[in-house]
Structure 1
Amino acid sequence: MIICPGQGFVFVHIPKCAGSSIRRQILQVDPDHIELARSGTHPDLGQIDFGHIPLDQLRVHFPDHYAQIRALDSFAVVRDPLARFGSALRQVLWQYEQRPMTLIPPAELRETTLRILDQVAAEIDAPSAPFIFFMRQDRFILDGEDQVLRNLIPLDLVPDFIGYISRRTGVPMETEARANQNVDLRVKGGFGTLAYKVNDRLRSVLPVNVHTRLKDTALRVLATKKSAAEASGLLDMPELRAFVQDHYARDAAIYAAVSARKVALAQDLAQGHLPITEIPA
């Protein structure tokens, strides 16, 4: 989450909803910004990801930040729950098991997915740090039944949103820049593993804008147009689809409500208006 009091807005980063792409650019618009990010230890909550704190916890443990979300224009990006779950699964496999999803044999990937589904189900209401990527989107938008965030952007309109923030703040931004992308590489095996390692190394030594441009150029050659989860076939897995339908029904309703207004929201952003969506009770 990034609070920009000087610009009058807050960006609430819902996990696996293009937040990394947006956050890197928003950081430059307000020298007095307040950023909650990275994992750490909270005296009451224990080990948490400070970048992804749901509203009910924010209200209790970070009341000043919660008050600013209510007082300022607060934005969040929402995503189709099935695609988001596939992206979260890819992130967990890479970040915590050091295994690129597209390089895992299909049978093993299926068994791994079933194992993770059980783990997510056990922690769905209070996920530990490794499973924060699977937290329901509604917990960053609603506080109980109270809709706190109304300026919601569907994932497809992220470039429009970045353009809106750029015009609102007067700070040039790259509307097509993407970070932490969920891609399927054309190269597999040892060459695929090498590509991931080279990218990690370049990310650690290059300026963000230089790395982003270099990575985007490479991906146009090395990656297919499918996400890693799509290419692996996981999004067609009956157990996974049923799991998402059962456990993320409210997220699906929120995404449907926001997506139904996509044309109007794009017009609002282009005209400099707040992209407001009321979520049905």
Structure 2
Amino acid sequence: MIISPLHRFVFVHVPKCAGTSVRTQIAACDPDHIAMALPGPHPELGRIDYGHVPLSQLRQYFPENYAYLHDLSSFAILRDPLSRFGSSLRQTLWRYERTPMTLIDPETLRARTLEIMDDLVAEIDAPSARMIFFARQSSFVFDGPDRMVDHLVPIEHVGAFIAYLSQKTGTPMDADRRSNQNVDLRAKWMGPLAFRVNGFLRKRLPQGLHTRIKDAALGVLATRTSAAESSGVLDMPEVHAFVDEYYADDVALYRQARAEAPELLSRFADGSLPLGKA
């Protein structure tokens, strides 16, 4: 989550919905912004991912930050739940098992996917830090029956959203920049080396330079399909049934966001959407 009192808006970072691409840029528009970002310990909740706090937890444990949702304009990016599940699986396997999805043989990946889904059933309503990438998108938009986020941006319109914020805040931003991408390398054997080199460069180069180098390399090394698509995970009937059962509200919410998108995009383009609330 990024809160900008200066420009009077809140960006709610829904896991695996291009939030990193947005957050890393909009943080620069307000030197006094309030950021909730990295995993860490919490005195009551234990270890949590501060970048992805569902709104019910935000209200209970971070009331000062929650209050900004009442006072400032708020935005969140949403994604097709099936596609997002595949991205969440890839990220979980990489972050917690240090295993690139594209390097796992199909049968092992299928078995591990089924195991993760079994584990997820027990905590889908209150995911642990390890499972937070699978949290329902609706839990970052609604607090109980109350919708708290004003504007929902379908992931395919992230560029228009970034361009709008750039214009409104007077801050140069790159509408085409993408971070933390779910990619499939053309040559699978290059995976371990590519991940190590990327990690080395990310720690040592300025963020903008690292992003440009990474994007150029991916243009050559990666296919146009995501790792989850190429792996076959999204073709599994069990995954489709799981998403239909446990993410039905997200399916409806994403459909609503797409239906509302033309009006929102028009207001982005002409600058008629104000930041802040009356």
TM-score (norm 2): 0.96
- Separation in 1 of the partners of 2:195 and 2:39? 23
**1:147 counterpart letter in structure 2:** R
C-alpha displacement of 1:29: 0.5
Bigger mean CA deviation after superposition, 59-68 or 265-274: 265-274
- Separation in 2 of the partners of 1:35 and 1:99? 29
Structure 2 residue aligned with 1:40? 40
Alignment of 1:95-106 (within 5 A): 95-106=95-106
1:22 counterpart = 2:22: yes
Residue deviations 1:63-108, cap 9 Å, x none?
Answer: 1111111110011100111100100000011111111101111111
Residue deviations 1:218-268, cap 9 Å, x none?
Answer: 111111110100011111100011001100000000000011223222212
Structure 2 residue aligned with 1:279? none
Structure 1 residue aligned with 2:183? 183
- Separation in 2 of the partners of 1:9 and 1:150? 10
Structure 1 residue aligned with 2:241? 242
- Separation in 2 of the partners of 1:104 and 1:216? 24
Indicate conservation of the 8 Å contact 1:14/1:77, yes or no: yes
Structure 2 residue aligned with 1:70? 70
**2:121 counterpart letter in structure 1:** A
- Separation in 1 of the partners of 2:91 and 2:272? 34
- Separation in 1 of the partners of 2:136 and 2:209? 33
C-alpha displacement of 1:274: 3.3
Q: Identity of aligned pairs, percent?
A: 57
Structure 2 residue aligned with 1:146? 146
SS in 2 for 1:70: helix
Alignment of 1:1-281 (within 5 A): 1-189=1-189, 191-274=190-273
**1:61 counterpart letter in structure 2:** Y
**2:161 counterpart letter in structure 1:** F
C-alpha displacement of 1:194: 0.9
- Separation in 1 of the partners of 2:141 and 2:191? 37
Residue deviations 1:93-124, cap 9 Å, x none?
Answer: 11111111011111111001011111111111
Indicate conservation of the 8 Å contact 1:151/1:274, yes or no: no
Indicate conservation of the 8 Å contact 1:10/1:73, yes or no: yes
Indicate conservation of the 8 Å contact 1:182/1:228, yes or no: yes
- Separation in 1 of the partners of 2:94 and 2:61? 31
**2:107 counterpart letter in structure 1:** A
Q: Does 1 or 2 have the higher relative contact order (CA < 8 Å, sep 6+)?
A: 2
- Separation in 1 of the partners of 2:133 and 2:167? 30
TM-score (norm 1): 0.95
- Separation in 1 of the partners of 2:46 and 2:179? 28
SS in 1 for 2:6: coil
- Separation in 2 of the partners of 1:188 and 1:42? 39
Q: Which runs of 5+ in 2 are unaligned?
A: none
**2:82 counterpart letter in structure 1:** L
- Separation in 2 of the partners of 1:56 and 1:205? 37
- Separation in 2 of the partners of 1:92 and 1:196? 15
